[in-house]
Amino acid sequence: MKKRSVLFICSKNSCRSQMAEAFLRAISPNDFDAFSAGLESTRVDPLAVKVMNEIGIDMSEQESKKLDRFLSERFSYLITVCDRANRSCPVFPGVSIREHWSFDDPAAVEGSEEERLIVYRRIRDEIKNRIEQFLSDETDH
């Protein structure tokens, strides 16, 4: 079976879309090619890298990418992971299925690093659960 490709889109491609890309690569590397991008690009969030390392997934080599890089490519799925990206994402003619998964922005949380890490871990676990559900739905078809 041919690998399917998934593009995860977020506003800045620093946290949620990066985690989704890393999870899909880690959980189902033989079935999917995973990519992520943002409406704008910045840097991969160090706290996102930290909470993913806690569960054995290394995101330290991932880079923040702008959506423009992928506009001419074809994807089996385009999945927005934040509401802003869902509202602002351009039409991709080469996308078979478009979905929206809404996750809170952990980078918007204020407080001590430990307080912020609690939120990052919650979002990480929500994304992992959603990726697992996505894969379960895929095998049901």
pLDDT tens digits, the chain, 141 residues: what are they? Answer: 689 999 999 999 999 999 999 999 999 999 999 999 999 989 999 999 999 999 999 999 999 999 989 988 899 999 999 888 888 877 777 788 999 999 999 999 999 999 999 999 999 999 999 999 999 987 665
Buried b (16+ CB within 10 A) or exposed e, 66-105: ebeebeeeebbbbbbbbeebbeebeebeebeebeebebeb
Query: How far is 83 from 98, CA to CA, in rounded Å?
Result: 14
pTM, 2 dp: 0.94
Query: How far is 97 from 77, CA to CA, in rounded Å?
Result: 5
By DSSP bridging, strand 75-80 and strand 32-38 are unpaired
Give burial (CB, 10 Å; 0-12/13-18/19+) of 57.
Answer: middle
- Catalogue the active-site residues: 10, 82, 89
- What backbone torsions phi and psi does residue 6 show, to the nearest 5 degrees? -130, 130
The strand pairing partners of 34, in sequence order, are 6
Helix or strand holding residue 77 (H, E):
strand 75-80
Are 59 and 43 a contacting pair, CB within 8 Å?
no
Domain annotation for the chain: domains and CATH numbers: 4-133 (3.40.50.2300)
Are 82 and 20 a contacting pair, CB within 8 Å?
no
